[in-house]
Amino acid sequence: MTKTTVSVIKADVGSVAGHVVTHEKILAKCRENLGKALDEGLLEDFYVTNCGDDTELIMTHRNGEENEEVHKLAFDTFMDATAVARELKLYGAGQDMLSDTFSGNIKGMGPGVAEMEFKERPSDPVIIFCCDKTEPGAFNMPLFRMFADPFNTAGLVIDPSLHDGFKYEVYDVMEHKKVIMSCPEEIYDLAALLGTISRYVIKHIYRKSDNEIAASVSTERLNLMAGKYVGKDDPVAIVRSQSGFPAAGEVVEPFAFPHLVGGWMRGSHNGPLMPVAQKNAHPIRFDGPPRVIALGFQIAESKLVGPMDLFDDPAYDRSRALASEIAEYMRRHGPFEPHRLPADEMEYTTLPGVLEKLEGRFTDID
């Protein structure tokens, strides 16, 4: 049987009332383009959605990862959607499109990409997470807990098919290097890296027993230039579940804790990651707090069955209430760390100008 590829490609191409939410006409344009690709046989299925101002193209096909035609389709679709955004004078029209010509692979051109290719199991549940107002490292803690923490994933302890553990492929986005680490043996070393969320970012997770792909995360733009930090990107992740992977409930469990992530307000503040239903994925207060949605699909002969909107669940009400409380607490810090990000991680800053102005006024402390 031929393999199935799931490609999630996303970009912020414009939004309504500042950076809040994408527009129905952008989504409609994306559906129109992907619909044509479906008719022409390039895609097997697709689902277009948004988390805040980020538009996500969820696509299934049989062409493998990094397929030039699929990437070009996504690129052209975002360019067409940008034209719609310009007509409507949406905010940040074409925001994430760093280039206006496609050159073989969408990576490094602005949009974020998470992909995986696999041979379908008899039943293949896949969960797709999409975030707004944060950065790829936002997935570090949840993915660590999903695939390495027995207090989150009971299956690591009680299910023989998970008991061997998982391997993490981690990118050093500053040095443009990657490393593979094996859990549970290297769990403390892995945590030592992943705790530095702005530098070490999970790219892939594999099941150790057979190298089967388990999770894939978008890390784009952060790794564009070695040694130079090039900004945050609202990330997406694909996670497989059940039968040899964490159960769906184990996959969504880490998000019950709204951990602090970077990317709120002007990409320069820390705030709690709030798990929400897709209909509530519109970050408003202080352009936030940061949001995550989870869409659950069954993959059947490369078709997307679903989605089930997994955080549209009263069981997450307490997490949302906690996130609101944390948001309030963080906001009270105003322009002070740790609400405001450290100087080297802010998306933009007046600090060099301020220092220049004060240059002659700084004197030695005796």
Judge contact between 53 and 13, C-beta under 8 A. Answer: no
Q: Using CB under 6 A, which of 38, 191, 247, 308 touches ligand 13P?
A: 247
Tell which one of 4, 7, 11, 19 touches ligand 13P (CB under 6 A): 19
323 vs 319: CA distance, rounded Å: 6
249 binds, among ligand 13P, Mg ion, none (CB under 5 to 8 A by kind): ligand 13P
C-alpha to C-alpha distance for 361 and 366, rounded to whole angstroms: 15
Catalytic residue among 25, 72, 178, 229: 229
CA distance 185 to 146: 16
Does residue 308 bind ligand 13P (CB under 6 A)? no
Query: Which of the ranges 200-208, 211-219, 262-270, 290-298 carries the binding residues for ligand 13P, by CB under 6 A?
Result: 262-270
Least distance (Å) from Mg ion to the CB of residue 199? 21
* 308 CB burial (10 A radius; 0-12, 13-18, 19+): middle
Q: In the beta sheet, which residues pair with residue 308?
A: 296
CB of 104 to Mg ion, least distance (A): 26
Gap between the Cα atoms of 78 and 72, Å rounded? 10
Measure the CA–CA gap between 126 and 129, rounded to whole angstroms.
10
Nearer to ligand 13P, 159 or 169 (CB): 159
Contact with ligand 13P (CB under 6 A): which of 44, 56, 124, 132? Answer: 132
Known catalytic residue at 89: no
* Cα–Cα distance, 14 to 93 (Å, whole number): 4
Burial 346-364 (b: 16+ CB within 10 A, else e): beeeeeeeeeeeeeeeeee
- Kindly state whether residue 234 participates in binding ligand 13P, applying the rule CB under 6 A: yes
Closest of 108, 86, 19 to residue 55, by C-alpha: 19
Q: 203 catalytic, yes or no?
A: no
Query: Could you tell me the smallest distance in angstroms from the CB atom of residue 318 to ligand 13P?
Result: 21
Q: Binding string, 112-151, against Mg ion, x = CB under 5 A?
A: --------------------x-------------------
CA distance 90 to 220: 24
Q: Which does 266 bind (CB under 5 to 8 A by kind): ligand 13P, Mg ion, none?
A: ligand 13P
Q: Among 92, 184, 231, 244, which residue interacts with Mg ion (rule: CB under 5 A)?
A: 92
Asked if 306 interacts with Mg ion (CB under 5 A), we say no
Active-site hit among 232, 287, 309, 316: 232
Interface with ligand 13P, residue 124, by CB under 6 A: no
Tokens of 140: 């570090």
Told to judge if 329 belongs to the known catalytic residues of this protein, a careful annotator would answer no
Q: Which residue in this structure is represented by tokens 């970077």?
A: 262
- Measure CA 259 to chain center: 15
Q: Does the protein bind ligand 13P through residue 265 (CB under 6 A)?
A: yes
Catalytic residues: 12, 229, 232
For binding to Mg ion (CB under 5 A), which residues are involved? Answer: 12, 19, 53-54, 92, 95, 132, 234
For binding to ligand 13P (CB under 6 A), which residues are involved? Answer: 12, 19, 52-53, 92, 95, 132-133, 234, 247, 249, 265-267, 287
